[in-house]
Structure 1
Amino acid sequence: MSDKDPQAMTGMLTAILQPWHDSVDDPAKAQQEVLHRLLKGYAQTDYGAQHGAAHIETVADYRRAFPVATYEDYKPVIERVMAGEVSLLLSEEPVGWAITRGTTEGESKFIPMTPTDLMMRISAGRAMMNYVVSSGRYDLFVRCIGRDRWWTPLRYAWGEFSTFNLGRL
């Protein structure tokens, strides 16, 4: 595609944005589609098979089949996944592991990063950056925590990738 072909660019952007517009028009349908997409992946895991993910049709079915659980409930399984038993919880190999800062109960948690997860994060990040640049809302990445004696705002970057992103704005 050439930058001199606006119709091709419009078609590409429409294809990217249309699912979002559709989800705004019918949020319940969009949520049902996301649930089915997630369940398709869950069904490929031992945990999902154990809870019947392949046979779940509704949110109510999902709630009945999958118990509410904490990180501590999953921790032994996560440790096994980290040791190589990927299919216990994941439908694809992780490319790495994120580590939380451990501010809850003082212990870091390990979060798998899969190719699908990273693509979703990249897509969301690009959308956010596009919004910030097009709207001029750079304040979304910086928070005022006070003022100095000349009333100049004292600011800090926040968020998972704030230092990385803020340096590139």
Structure 2
Amino acid sequence: MENLLGLLRVRVKRGINLAVRDVRSSDPYIVIKMAKQKLKTRVIKKNVNPEWNEDLTLSISDPNVPILLTVYDHDTFSMDDKMGDAEIDIRPFIEAVKMKLDSLPNGTIITKTQPSRTNCFSEESCVVWKDGRVVQNMFLRLRNVECGEVEIELQWVNVPGSRGL
């Protein structure tokens, strides 16, 4: 991949008040897609407030391609039910990484994005300089479903030999 800019580590933290799809609960897992890449978290049984704390890593060659996150309910005998989705625009995050801010005090907020019609944020999302890295924590309100949010964190990983930002 000669166009590789670097890796994006997506830490899938937790789901909040996810939709019920099996009688009283759901067995949620998350699929993250970007271009031809597709990654999955593990299934958490019978929990509408699951904690994954799982790291999924995407190779980034075009930051203009959004990430699609979809929550599914795992069903043993039938098709897994969708429990909503969200789209993540990584451009503001990539712009912050490009600034190459190496001497900031830990916890400095680089940029903030407010919730709007064009994003899936349920509250303000900040890109922060933390422990020598640029990270962005976000609460995503799921679309196409009656309720539910997902908390994730983005972190940039430079790859030796890649084109870089």
Shorter-chain TM-score tier: under 0.3
Please identify the structure whose Cα radius of gyration is greater. Answer: 1
Choose between structure 1 and 2 for higher RCO, CA contacts under 8 A separated by at least 6 residues.
2
The two structures have a TM-score, normalised by structure 1, of 0.20
The two structures have a TM-score, normalised by structure 2, of 0.20
Greater strand share, structure number: 2
Greater helix share, structure number: 1
